[in-house]
Amino acid sequence: MDALRLRPSMLAARPGAARPRDHFQPSFCSTQQNGQGRLCFSSRRTQGPTLYHCQKFFSWTSSDCRISHRSINTSVNASGQQLQSEPEAHDSASIWRAISSSLDAFYRFSRPHTVIGTALSIVSVSLLAVESLADISPLFLTGLLEAVVAALFMNIYIVGLNQLFDIEIDKVNKPTLPLASGEYSPATGVAIVSVFAAMSFGLGWVVGSPPLFWALFISFVLGTAYSINLPYLRWKRFAVVAALCILAVRATFVFRRPAVFSKPLIFATGFMTFFSVVIALFKDIPDIEGDRIFGIRSFSVRLGQKKVFWICVGLLEMAYSVALLMGATSSSLWSKIATIAGHSILAAILWNSARSVDLTSKAAITSFYMFIWKLFYAEYLLIPLVR
C-alpha cells in the first residue's frame, strides 16, 4: 500500500532538474503570513501522494491528523490581515442596543397613555358624526388620519413641555422619565417639543382646515399655560386636558362640514371633559411628595391624598349615573341596552377596585391612576354607541 511521507531528498531538488512527465503532476503550495513554512503537495504515479513541509515531519495517520477550529477562525486573508468576525457582531449588537435604548427613552418621554387617550378621543367622537355606512368614505378616513396625526404631534409637545418645567419635581415623583433621569438633556427636550409643535401646526396649515388649525392652537395655548413657569401661568393646579375642550370641533372637522351639536355629541363632550378633570385631580395624588417640596399647591397637597382619592371616585360614579340616564332616555333599543349595560359594568368595576387600594402605598395609587386611564379608554369605546 502506498504511503504518504516526507521525502528529504526533495529539500535539495535542483531548479533545473528534469522530471519524467508521466511521474509528476503540478503541486499546490501555501505560504504562511511570515513568508516561511512552505507547504507543498505533489503526487507521483508510482510512489503515491507525498506531503512536503519545510519545518516539520508529519506522518499522515488517522490519529495524528487534526485541523484546529481555532486556526480556521484566525486564518488570514489575501492582504495578510487576520479575519475577525466577533468584533463586527459586537458592533452590530451595540448599534441595536443604542437604537432600542433611544426608542425606549422617547416612548417614556411621549407619555404613551396620553397619546392613546388623544387618538381614541378623536376616533370615538368622529364616529358620532357618522350617520350611515356611506359616511365612512375615503374623505372621512383621510380627515380622521389628518386630525389624529396633528393632535398626536401637539400631544407630545404638551407632555414634553410639562416635563421640561418639572425636571426637579420629576426627580422625586417620576425619576424614570428621560429628562429627570438624565437620559435627555434640557436642550434635547427643547428640540423635541419645538419640532413636534412645528410639525403639528405645519400639518394643520397644509391640510387647510380652519377648525383643525384652531383646535391645535387652543390646545397649544392651554397646554403651554398649564406648564410654563411665568407670571399668571403655570396652571398645573387647575389642570384640564386641553384637547378634550374641543371634542366637538374635532368631530366636525373630519367631514369638513358645519358643526351639528347633537345630543350624543353634547353628552360625549360633557362626559369626557368631566372625566378629564378627574384625571387631572387624580394625577396629583401619587405626586404629592414632590409637589409639596416644590410648593405646588395641588388639591392633594391641600386636602390630603385620601380625601381627593374618594372625591375622584365619587365624581366618576356620578358621571356613570348620568350616562345611565342618557341610555334610559335613548329612542334606540340597542343603544339603550349597550349604554346602560356598559356603564353599569364600568361603575361596578371602579367601585370594587377603589375599595381594595392601599392609600399608604405610592405604587398602589399609581397603579390605580393607570386603571383610571383604562376606564377612560373604555368610555371611548362606548361613546359611538350612544344615540
pLDDT digits (tens, 9 = 90+) for 143-178: 888 888 998 999 999 899 989 998 988 898 889 999
Using pLDDT thresholds of 50, 70 and 90, give the confidence band for residue 38: very low
Lowest mean pLDDT of 10-14, 162-166, 203-207, 277-281, name the range. 10-14
Domain 110-259: CATH architecture, name and number where available: Orthogonal Bundle (1.10)
More confident: 3 or 191: 191
Separation of alpha carbons 339 and 337, rounded Å = 6
Which pairing describes strands 48-53 and 28-30: parallel, antiparallel, or unpaired?
unpaired
Each residue's pLDDT tens digit, 117-139: 888 888 877 777 776 777 778 88
> Right CATH number for 261-386 from 2.40.128, 1.10.287, 3.10.150, 1.20.120?
1.20.120
Residue 50 Rama label (left phi>0; alpha psi -120 to 50; beta):
beta
Confidence band, pLDDT 50/70/90 cuts, at residue 237: low
Output the DSSP codes for 349-375: HHHHHHHT--TT-HHHHHHHHHHHHHH
d(CA 140, CA 254): 6
Q: What is the pTM of this model?
A: 0.62
Q: Is the pLDDT of residue 60 over 50?
A: no
Return the domain boundaries, the chain: 110-259, 261-386
